Amino acid sequence: MNSSRLLFFTLAILAGSCAIAAGSKSPPPNIVIFIADDHSQLDSQPYGSTEVRTPNMARLAAEGLTFTHAFVASPACGPSRTALLTGRWPARNGAEPNHRPKRPEVASLPPVLRALGYEVAAIGKVAHNTYAKDHGFDFIEGPNQGFSETTAVARFLATRDPSRPLCLFVGTRHPHVPWSDDRAYDPATVQIPPTHIDTAATREQRASYLTDVTKADTLLGEVRALAREKIPGDTLFIYTADHGAQWPFGKWNLYDAGIRIPLIAVWPGRLKPATTSDALVCWPDLLPTFIELAGGKVPAGLDGRSFAAVLRGTATRHRDRVVATHSGDGDFNVYPIRSVRTRDWKYIRNLHPEFQHHTHISRSSGPSGLLYWKTWLAAAEKDPAAAAIVKRYSERPAEELYDLATDPREQRNLVYPEPGRGAAEPKHTARLASMRADLDAWMKQQGDTQTVVGKPLLHGEPATPIAPAGGKQKAKAAAAPERK
């Protein structure tokens, strides 16, 4: 028996023992978690947007609990989703760059729920690529890139055994690029974030992105209706997203636009309607929470921590800080970053500030991003404000420190650049030193080798376009040489 199977077997015994011990208690709840792809938290009605139409998200918020401070472990699909399913950050599960699976010996958490009697199913994009097969689900149905309609969910719920408790993960592809050309929003009236450059192409693509956010919301409503109709008994329903949208300073970045995500929970009879929680929670906490709610024992050694007490109303706080990491995504984006965030402060360390920061947005020869990025470059030639945004996108200092209470969009870096590490304004010196030390200790605890995967683009080198070669590019990313 290999080490991975042995660990799964051990977890199953532990969980099964808990299930037997809890046999006299009420049945465990069903759990349905709907995952959008690339949806920034602020782009939904429950989080304050006045332009995007997300009535189903608004309905969930009215019926349940909205988390205002929810985060992911990483702002790229693969690392984020693997951290969700293993309860471990990327350095400990092996899925550091995008398109790389977890290490075989790293246990996943769905088998713990299976041992508690659950049927655990993944429909659409739940894990990344084809990696759902590595995580111990009972049932898997594609497409791996996520679905655009809900027939597979309806078919599964109509044919399964309803006597078993269910943990169902459902993943749509929206609002991942390519965005819809059939726009439901007027480009002339969309709101342009302060980190973006207002061009006609930006407005068109912003309208397309919002259209796809609304498509995700429509699918959310359909899945919620199916769950109500087809899943009997006590059911916890959750909406969330794997990271922020594919815009500059969003996806592939550790600013809040990249790592702060929507998380709304509805649990009739258990959660008070129309409530909010500012508890700091993160995606690796979700499965440990489900395991505790199901009456099981959360495996030792995880990075994720159950916040079941917050859902039960016996606690209002969870973490005092969240940490996030990003390593890269093929040669499009070779830019390792680490961050630590408290409720009101964010510290970011760009491990290689000598690298240019680029992504699919600025280097892909395909349409995603370039539809507006070229207009940003043209604007930067004439407008100093646009030039500053383009420069900030591609050139990063070694360290960044933000006061989120006064600067929630992370526009004013409080670290002054100096040779090596920078110095903060005098009143922030102690805070900078403390957050540096926190991140150093965390990286050491994680065994974070600060590996560079892929070929970096150094300052002064041209940002030549790269062909989005589909499977070839993904295979290249997974097999890319590692540098330290």
- DSSP secondary structure letter of residue 208: H
Q: How far apart are CA 374 and CA 224, in angstroms?
A: 40
pLDDT at 467 (0 to 100): 85
Q: Alpha carbon of 151 to those of 141, 158, 219, 222, 315: distances in Å?
A: 11, 11, 11, 10, 39
Domains and CATH numbers, the chain: 3-320 (3.40.720.10), 323-483 (no CATH)
Residues in the chain: 484
- DSSP secondary structure letter of residue 169: E
pLDDT at 473 (0 to 100): 42
| CB 210 within 8 Å of CB 193 | no
pLDDT band at 474 (very low <50, low <70, confident <90, very high): very low
Q: Does the N-terminal peptide bond of residue 175 adopt cis geometry, omega within 30 degrees of 0?
A: yes
| CB 298 within 8 Å of CB 281 | no
pLDDT at 423 (0 to 100): 76
Residue 471 has pLDDT above 50, yes or no: no
pLDDT in tens, 396-453: 999 999 999 999 999 999 997 655 567 777 899 999 999 999 999 999 999 999 999 9
pLDDT in tens, 4-53: 444 444 444 444 444 333 334 689 999 999 999 999 999 999 999 999 99
pLDDT in tens, 225-259: 999 999 999 999 999 999 999 999 999 999 999 99
Q: How far apart are CA 257 and CA 297, in angstroms?
A: 34
Residue 475 has pLDDT above 60, yes or no: no
Beta bridge partners of 338: 325, 349
pLDDT at 424 (0 to 100): 79
| CB 357 within 8 Å of CB 442 | no
